[in-house]
A = this chain, B = another copy of it.
Amino acid sequence: MYTIGQISKLFHLPISTLRYYDKEGLFPDMERSSGIRKFGEKEMEALRVIECLKKSGLEIKDIKQFMEWCAQGSSTYPQRRELFLRQKEIVEEEIRKMEKVLDMIRFKCWYYEQAIRDGNEDRLNEMLPNHLPEEIQLLYNHAHED
């Protein structure tokens, strides 16, 4: 069992954030001894899941819902599974978007490298939007499609 200060260091989260999560109901029926929170293995796995679901785009109130399902036992396995299946789609889509962002950034890195060499953007403007070097054209197209 850990205190809030120890968990704060282990998870690199401010104490105020941990108390806020608790207040929002993210650790249903966490133990206390004379008022002091006791974080056990259950709360630590909860924190890992919180970070995961937060990064997947879920709001605190929906994470709370999930934690309540966990506290309710085996009858909520299907809901919990559905939630992760939904978030899987969302995160996969998000990664695809980030790959597109990354290709735009890679293109811009190349672009400014060329601009610095040339001292201006004249040659680049002549190549745009369809006569870029093959590699670069792929980045450009991916970043600009849709």
- Asked if residues A115 and B74 are in contact (CB atoms below 8 Å), the reply is yes
Contact B102 A92 (CB under 8 A): yes
**CA A106 – CA B105 in complex, angstroms?**
29
A84 touches B97 (CB 8 A): no
Confirm or deny: A131 has a beta carbon within 8 angstroms of a beta carbon on chain B.
no
* A113 contacts the other chain (CB 8 A): yes
Per the CB 8 Å criterion, the residue count for chain A at the interface is 37
**Interchain CB contact (< 8 A) of A113 among B81, B92, B94, B97:** B81
Q: Is A119 an interface residue (CB 8 A)?
A: yes
Q: Is A2 part of the binding interface, using a Cβ–Cβ cutoff of 8 Å?
A: no
Partner-binding segment picked from A14-22, A28-36, A48-56: A48-56
